[in-house]
Structure 1
Amino acid sequence: MSLTDHADNSPAISGLSDTQAMLIDRYWRAANYVSVGQIYLLDNPLLREPLTHEHVKPRLLGHWGTTPGLNFIYAHLNRIILARDTDLLYVCGPGHGGPGMVANTWLEGTYSEIYPAISDDEEGMRRLFRQFSFPGGIPSHAAPETPGSIHEGGELGYALVHAYGAAFDNPELVVACVIGDGEAETGPLAASWHSNKFLDPVHDGAVLPILHLNGYKIAGPTILGRSDDTVLRQLLEGYGHEPFFVEGSDPMDMHRQMAATLDRVFDRIAEIQHAARAGEAPGTIRWPMIVLRSPKGWTGPKDVDGKRVEGFWRAHQVPIAEARENAAHRRLLEEWMRSYRPEELFDAAGRLLPELRALAPAGDKRMGSTPYANGGRLRRALRRPDWRDHAVAVPSPGGAIGEATRQLGKYLADVLRLNADARNFRIMGPDETASNRLDAVFEVTDRAWMQRTEPYDEHLARGGRVMEVLSEHLCQGWLEGYLLTGRHGLFNCYEAFVHIVDSMFNQHAKWLKVSRGLDWRRPIASFNYLLTSHVWRQDHNGFSHQDPGFIDLVVNKKADVVRVYLPPDANCLLRVADHCLGTHDRINVIVAGKQPAPQWLTADEAETHCAAGVGIWDWAGTDRDGRELDVVMACAGDVPTLETLAAVDLLRQHIPELKIRVVNVVDLMTLQPRSEHPHGLSDNDFDSLFTRNKPIVFAFHGYPYLIHRLTYRRANHANLHVRGFKEEGTTTTPFDMVVRNGLDRFHLAMDVIDRVPGLAGTTAHAKQAFRDRLIEHKQYITTHGEDMPGIREWSWPYRAPSDAGD
């Protein structure tokens, strides 16, 4: 069979024997029993006595509706692992199915190995039940605390993209990804179906999407749940899949259907991979997937208080809502739990019976114990070149012009070369790798592409290490899945549009925060953002492309997780990027420009400056003779640095006696107190840079309020004046962008005059000259369509003190 042939995907008759089907059904019942117990019970886990008020939790939390389907899938995937010795990762899209993920990892033994207090007996079961959605316990989702999970799913939309990220460069892995009805309605999930066009059967693993349709979300029907099979088949085939359907409610019939379908699906995956790895030209691959239709709240109560529950939205959360106080509800709960016949599942000590325990794999083949779900176990150090090999030669400050991200592209090309055999580094981006001046990477690799190609296409290839798709959601999700399973990467994006993944960033940051507190979760490589084509150089694209606010969102997160870097030039960018690629369990955000710009620091100076994160640029200031300082001019970001230095030049020309200190900030987190962030400066160090009583004029890349947030506890905060983006944008010239927002050199110089005591009355001529230049600027750009020559051609006119007399 060729890779493009279609297997018969009509309903299959399984060779599963009655004995095998009964054993799987008992295992499934055990998982359902343990799932229900987690939602409801504080005590009496094996129902040794009738349920009483005290046995039931006072607050009933959790979600039942999706859980029996998740348990059903888990039990059948266990059979596949045992039969085929497969490495399987289970991605649970319905995160509210947390009870099922916890139940299954407890039944297979993984949970008790990781959490010995939750033993594999009756007492362990009692503790397992008590901790669920209980103060001091565990969340109701498949959270970081859940073995086998790389995906919480509390926020829907990301399961399938995470699954593909996990499969890339893991050729022996199959990722079974369960997608619920509700998640199937989200935008990110809709785009994620296209991920199959990027999956290389030679070098990558496989993803098995399982679209689990139970018909309802929280309070109503779902779109795909109400779609008939013909329409659904056409949709999924249009996405490039070969769908197999498993449908019904009779348990024994469903077990036979599912076993037969999984066998056919795994045969199909093996055929595709074998043919591709044997060198057969794959053409268009139609990867198999499963549509599982089962009732919402399957095996739960049919009706409660005369209202339909099973097969309806009322089964979504807690089907029996008053089991603690309402005796009739409590009897109904007990009948429900006893319907699973726990005496056929657990021995007298509360342990899963041996014949059922034998249905789960052993060791790392268990889905709860697979190292792919604890990626730090697989992580290998990324080989990195010496970043100085790509440094720009800077004979004096401002004495060279360079494109920062172009130099970074050369560095990243070397990273790709050094890790070519390991295949553990990828670059993700929404069709902007070349636009962001990283195109040197295409000397080493191509864009990953599994669709047809034309003779005139460029840099498209199976096995490419650069992944481009016009969906920031996919780029973010692919890289998350890739990192969570032990690899390394970089996400480059236009600054304004990274906001599309704000919520995904939030979820990953939360995952890292919790994971860092779990000893058994090994560190994973950091998520590295490169934000370029930034606010101050999107003059030609207009207001829609002008937004630096992502860093505000980032700074909201826990200090031990996030870092924000604003390198002022190419050498600082190289040094910062090299550092970030070597870190783990972090989210690093680097904001850097791609346009030609003056270069300020040599490689050695960049090393020293970036290691500190903040520092005085002695060569730029005029406070070196020991006389009392008049003003601190601080800057963070490449364009703010340029404008600050140009403002210093103006002040040196017009007020030569003024004592100015220039402080450049690379690591934004140094501005926070050390008590708030591990990179923060101590109060003494902060005061030594910024003084305790002198005016500070701070030119910032983003929204000014962020600097005030970071520094409000500092002694000199009252003297701090910040200029940055104030939501003034349009299609204009580069310099007009900074003028519109008051971040230009003339406004900064006037700020100094206004804030240094005694200057306002003696420097009216200088202030008038600066205002006149702003008027000239406006007239010039509206006539000529570009900035004045004096702006475009300005360069730093002074030599560093060490150069004097050369």
Structure 2
Amino acid sequence: MADAATTAPNDLTEHELHALDAHWRAANYLAAGQIYLLANPLLKEPLRPEHIKPRLLGHWGTSPGLNLVHTHLGRVIKARDLDAICVWGPGHGGPAVLAGSWLDGSYAEVYPDVSRDGAGMARLFRQFSFPGGVPSHVAPETPGSIHEGGELGYSLAHAYGAALDNPDLLAVCVIGDGEAETGPLAGSWHANKFLDPVHDGAVLPILHLNGYKIANPTVLARLPEPELDDLLRGYGHEPIHVAARPGDDPLRTHRALARAMDQALDRITLLQRTAREEDAVERPRWPVIVLRTPKGWTGPAEVDGLPVEDTWRAHQVPLPAVRENPDHLRQLERWLRSYRPEELFDDEGRPRPDVLAFVPDGDRRLGANPHANGGLLLRDLPVPGLARYAVPVDKPGATLHEPTRVLGGLLEQIMEDTADRRDFRLVGPDETSSNRLDAVYRATGKAWQEEILVTDEHLNRHGRVMEVLSEHLCQGWLEGYLLTGRHGLFSCYEAFVHIVDSMVNQHIKWLKVARDLPWRRPIASLNYLLTSHVWRQDHNGFSHQDPGFVDHVLNKSPQAVRVYLPPDANTLLCVADHVLRSRDYVNVVVAGKQPCFDWLDLDQARVHCARGAGSWDWAGTETGTGEPDVVLAAAGDVPTQEVLAAAGILRRHLPDVAVRVVNVVDMTRLLPQDAHPHGMPDAEFDALFTRDRPVVFAYHGYPWLVHRLAYRRAVHPHLHVRGYRESGTTTTPFDMVVRNDLDRYRLVMDVIDRTPGLAVRAVSVRQRMQDARTRHHQWIREHGTDMPEIAEWSWTG
């Protein structure tokens, strides 16, 4: 692809070019000032060491390129009246994006003390990477951002998520060349195969190649241009190149980038019009701008005899010893004055008219677009009443249903009810049907823009189910979708959701910070449905057995995380109703897709889920005259079944033992009240679990999590937890629980071993339990299936 400067017409006058350059120089000055200056923001006096911050933090290298993009986006947004946001991918581009929002006035609107004048500039500079101030990267505090600057690899997926079901939105994404080396970003180039040009907006990737990471060159920047073009064309894009080199006249670069922007946007307009008006079905080949700028452009060319500009040394702070080294101080002053701030700001520090000539108005500003504060656009999700979908339960444990299939009916109706407004998506890595949610296909199809064969099922160019075998891409799509004001659900095999551990970390951090910013409006929660879980991956084996995502999430900010383990179909419906309506949380719901006993009718399920944890009196043998002898507790569908089976054995063989059966749906209820908003007061916890009676707890995941959540409770010394202990293989369903000592027989043995006075008088019962485990091992090795007493078991009460 030839340079854009020679392939597109240009209508910009010299005055317009100089106005663009004025904005860019002002942004560069503000970016450098944030890194260095504690005082004297307008350089009204010579720089002195006391004007410099004592700790120099921040990243200069990427800032000039980002400022260039911000400047030129302002021009096209204003000229074309575009509804546009920008996702800033480079990790620490905070100085640039803060500079842009300060210049467009959006920063002062949400932070009035950082006014668009000299006093506000001083505050802008001082607060950057300073105690009590703002981070060095793009963050929730930054107006116009939907992406945490530390999230290398996720920017393009976020941009596509923002564009979904936003037909009038342009989501620009600046991709740093270091970020472009990550696996998630590489996978995200395929998102264009799922972008519907009729109902979705457009994504304009800008691959920003400045050549270096923190200490090394970057791969894509060193590729020969024809090879890079082949790569991008192979991904389905048409590249447009803009290149600036050290010493180039910036006006030439402005002219080239303006032409590239116009060329790209003209192509996007044509592709959308063709699809929307002519019903074209061929997948569009969207433009991508490849922007090459020198690392640390316009900064110091050389420091202490070593080259800096256009090298990795420009990545962070080019002049590191300004307070101590007079030469560095003089260089800094020359550098800052090279932008000619007196031409850019008046005596009061306000930007001059030329600087603001191409700044859009109102909500069209990148710092003020409501899509970047998605809660402003969020509408309540029309979740239908549950009675239509609930399964009848006349008696506990008499019938079985697949909980996620029951949930699928509810999701189908939500898809149907949002067909016109298009603000709900279901995402997952090729598992919607496998996870029994395929009822949604009666309301919508799977998004797909490639060829559709007659043998394909449910593929639809306008579908709202997103399936791709990349958990990173699914997560990024959904985050971008939620952050721009919509709703969704991520369905995933439990063992493989770990792939997005770092992504959910960042989203939780975003939510935690955003809830403390009054101008950030609440967004719909990020909802995970984890199924095909550890206890029913007996057929796939050890590689598919890992329940630890819950542990990972519960390490995070308690204000933002919730974990639910509904034990049957109706409780799953109630939990889903709650999480789909919620705001500003990460909700993890773990529920099986295999046939599961129905324990509670809808009304009982509603009460139980609202309580979060409670006693199932019908399952225990308490007389109501005092505390139980032992508490059998469960969290999760398979542990619940094993606990009830154990309770049935105790009822038959040790009827004089007072057993209380407790079921936990909301894992955060186990925490103290001061540790989590859902935490149980001590008095309530003690009443449910007792203070000093043995508690045998069958838990879905790793047993130490329950100990961690409950370690401050009075009963903790008497708490014994059974759960997954990394013992897995390809085997039978019941053998999975036996291997991990979560089976009914082991639970009965635990009750006998831990209930005072019971071990001696129940020795024969304990021996029967041990014998049953031995029979189990022999049976499965001979027959390959579980024993009839297991396979045909049901609750008899």
TM-score, normalization: structure 2?
Answer: 0.99
Q: Is it true that 1:117 corresponds to 2:116 in the alignment?
A: no
* Match in the other structure for 1:171: 167
Deviations 1:461-509 (A, max 9, x none): 1110100000000000000000000000000000000000000000000
Q: Is it true that 1:75 corresponds to 2:74 in the alignment?
A: no
Q: Is it true that 1:431 corresponds to 2:430 in the alignment?
A: yes
> Residues 530-569 of structure 1 correspond to what in structure 2 (within 5 A)?
530-569=529-568
Alpha-carbon distance, 1:774 to partner:
0.4
Alpha-carbon distance, 1:200 to partner:
0.6
* Match in the other structure for 1:705: 704
**Which residue of 177, 180, 203 maps to 1:184?**
180
Q: Give the 3-state SS of the residue equivalent to 2:172 in structure 1.
A: strand
Alpha-carbon distance, 1:628 to partner:
4.4
* Match in the other structure for 2:348: 349
Deviations 1:519-561 (A, max 9, x none): 0000000000000000000001000000000000110111110
Deviations 1:218-245 (A, max 9, x none): 0011100101110010000000001100
Over 3 Å counting, the alpha-carbon distance change for 1:261 and 1:625 in structure 2 is closer
Q: Contact 2:3–2:242 (CA<8 Å) still a contact in 1?
A: no
**Which residue of 140, 147, 151 maps to 1:151?**
147
Q: Contact 1:145–1:515 (CA<8 Å) still a contact in 2?
A: yes
Q: Contact 2:428–2:467 (CA<8 Å) still a contact in 1?
A: yes
Matched residues, number: 793
Q: Contact 1:446–1:460 (CA<8 Å) still a contact in 2?
A: yes
Q: Is it true that 1:269 corresponds to 2:268 in the alignment?
A: yes
Alignment partners' CA distance in 2, 1:630 and 1:279: 75
Q: Give the 3-state SS of the residue equivalent to 1:589 in structure 2.
A: strand
* Match in the other structure for 1:744: 743
Alpha-carbon distance, 1:282 to partner:
3.2
Whichever residue aligns with residue 610 of structure 1, its letter is C
Q: Give the 3-state SS of the residue equivalent to 1:622 in structure 2.
A: coil
Alignment partners' CA distance in 2, 1:59 and 1:628: 61
Q: Is it true that 1:160 corresponds to 2:178 in the alignment?
A: no
**Which residue of 34, 40, 43 maps to 2:36?**
40
Q: Mean alpha-carbon deviation: is it higher for 353-362 or for 127-136? A: 353-362
Over 3 Å counting, the alpha-carbon distance change for 1:351 and 1:578 in structure 2 is same
* Match in the other structure for 2:669: 670
Over 3 Å counting, the alpha-carbon distance change for 1:463 and 1:8 in structure 2 is farther
Alignment partners' CA distance in 1, 2:566 and 2:341: 62
Instruction: List 4+ stretches of structure 1 deviating above 4 A.
Output: 6-11
Q: Give the 3-state SS of the residue equivalent to 1:88 in structure 2.
A: strand
Alignment partners' CA distance in 2, 1:449 and 1:716: 54
Q: Mean alpha-carbon deviation: is it higher for 563-572 or for 250-259? A: 250-259
> Residues 95-114 of structure 1 correspond to what in structure 2 (within 5 A)?
95-114=91-110
Alignment partners' CA distance in 2, 1:106 and 1:169: 30
Alignment partners' CA distance in 1, 2:5 and 2:759: 83
Q: Mean alpha-carbon deviation: is it higher for 531-540 or for 152-161? A: 152-161
Alignment partners' CA distance in 1, 2:416 and 2:281: 27
Alpha-carbon distance, 1:362 to partner:
1.0
* Match in the other structure for 1:25: 21
Alpha-carbon distance, 1:693 to partner:
1.0
Alignment partners' CA distance in 2, 1:624 and 1:699: 23
Q: Give the 3-state SS of the residue equivalent to 2:518 in structure 1.
A: coil
Q: Give the 3-state SS of the residue equivalent to 2:702 in structure 1.
A: coil
Q: Is it true that 1:217 corresponds to 2:213 in the alignment?
A: yes
Alignment partners' CA distance in 1, 2:23 and 2:332: 20
Whichever residue aligns with residue 150 of structure 1, its letter is I
Q: Give the 3-state SS of the residue equivalent to 2:618 in structure 1.
A: coil
Alpha-carbon distance, 1:585 to partner:
0.3
Alpha-carbon distance, 1:84 to partner:
0.3
Alignment partners' CA distance in 1, 2:699 and 2:684: 20
Q: Contact 1:528–1:588 (CA<8 Å) still a contact in 2?
A: yes
Alpha-carbon distance, 1:8 to partner:
9.4
Q: Contact 1:13–1:256 (CA<8 Å) still a contact in 2?
A: no
Alpha-carbon distance, 1:14 to partner:
2.5
Alignment partners' CA distance in 2, 1:342 and 1:494: 56
* Match in the other structure for 2:306: 307
Alignment partners' CA distance in 2, 1:282 and 1:604: 48
Identical pairs, percent: 63
Alpha-carbon distance, 1:606 to partner:
0.2
Over 3 Å counting, the alpha-carbon distance change for 1:350 and 1:628 in structure 2 is closer
Alignment partners' CA distance in 1, 2:479 and 2:390: 30
> Residues 220-239 of structure 1 correspond to what in structure 2 (within 5 A)?
220-239=216-235
* Match in the other structure for 2:508: 509
* Match in the other structure for 1:652: 651
Alpha-carbon distance, 1:15 to partner:
2.6
Whichever residue aligns with residue 290 of structure 2, its letter is V
* RMSD (Å) for aligned C-alpha atoms: 1.1
Q: Contact 2:524–2:582 (CA<8 Å) still a contact in 1?
A: yes
* Match in the other structure for 2:459: 460
Deviations 1:120-156 (A, max 9, x none): 1111111100000000000000000000000012130
Q: Give the 3-state SS of the residue equivalent to 2:411 in structure 1.
A: helix
* Match in the other structure for 1:803: none
> Residues 322-721 of structure 1 correspond to what in structure 2 (within 5 A)?
322-721=321-720
Alignment partners' CA distance in 2, 1:137 and 1:625: 58
Whichever residue aligns with residue 227 of structure 1, its letter is L
* Match in the other structure for 2:129: 133
Whichever residue aligns with residue 133 of structure 1, its letter is S
* Match in the other structure for 1:88: 84
Q: Is it true that 1:317 corresponds to 2:316 in the alignment?
A: yes
Q: Contact 2:5–2:255 (CA<8 Å) still a contact in 1?
A: no
Alpha-carbon distance, 1:387 to partner:
1.6
Alignment partners' CA distance in 2, 1:629 and 1:244: 74
Deviations 1:160-213 (A, max 9, x none): 000000000001110110001100000000000000011111000000000000
Alpha-carbon distance, 1:252 to partner:
1.0
Q: Give the 3-state SS of the residue equivalent to 1:278 in structure 2.
A: helix
Q: Contact 1:530–1:590 (CA<8 Å) still a contact in 2?
A: yes
* Match in the other structure for 2:286: 287
Q: Contact 2:370–2:376 (CA<8 Å) still a contact in 1?
A: yes
Whichever residue aligns with residue 690 of structure 1, its letter is F
Alpha-carbon distance, 1:302 to partner:
0.4
Deviations 1:598-626 (A, max 9, x none): 11000010011001001000000000342
Q: Give the 3-state SS of the residue equivalent to 2:133 in structure 1.
A: coil
Q: Contact 2:4–2:242 (CA<8 Å) still a contact in 1?
A: no
Alpha-carbon distance, 1:456 to partner:
1.7
* Match in the other structure for 2:191: 195
Q: Contact 1:9–1:243 (CA<8 Å) still a contact in 2?
A: no
Alignment partners' CA distance in 1, 2:667 and 2:696: 16
Q: Give the 3-state SS of the residue equivalent to 2:335 in structure 1.
A: helix
* Match in the other structure for 1:246: 242
Alignment partners' CA distance in 2, 1:523 and 1:49: 45
Over 3 Å counting, the alpha-carbon distance change for 1:144 and 1:738 in structure 2 is same
Alignment partners' CA distance in 2, 1:14 and 1:247: 17
Alignment partners' CA distance in 1, 2:509 and 2:478: 16
Q: Contact 1:525–1:584 (CA<8 Å) still a contact in 2?
A: yes
Alignment partners' CA distance in 1, 2:87 and 2:10: 25
Q: Contact 1:11–1:245 (CA<8 Å) still a contact in 2?
A: no
Alignment partners' CA distance in 1, 2:548 and 2:12: 57
TM-score, normalization: structure 1?
Answer: 0.97
* Match in the other structure for 1:801: none
Over 3 Å counting, the alpha-carbon distance change for 1:92 and 1:21 in structure 2 is same
* Match in the other structure for 1:258: 257
* Match in the other structure for 2:56: 60
Whichever residue aligns with residue 791 of structure 1, its letter is I
Q: Mean alpha-carbon deviation: is it higher for 338-347 or for 455-464? A: 455-464
* Match in the other structure for 2:723: 724
Over 3 Å counting, the alpha-carbon distance change for 1:606 and 1:713 in structure 2 is same
Over 3 Å counting, the alpha-carbon distance change for 1:10 and 1:461 in structure 2 is farther
Whichever residue aligns with residue 195 of structure 2, its letter is L
Over 3 Å counting, the alpha-carbon distance change for 1:384 and 1:7 in structure 2 is farther
Alignment partners' CA distance in 1, 2:500 and 2:709: 24
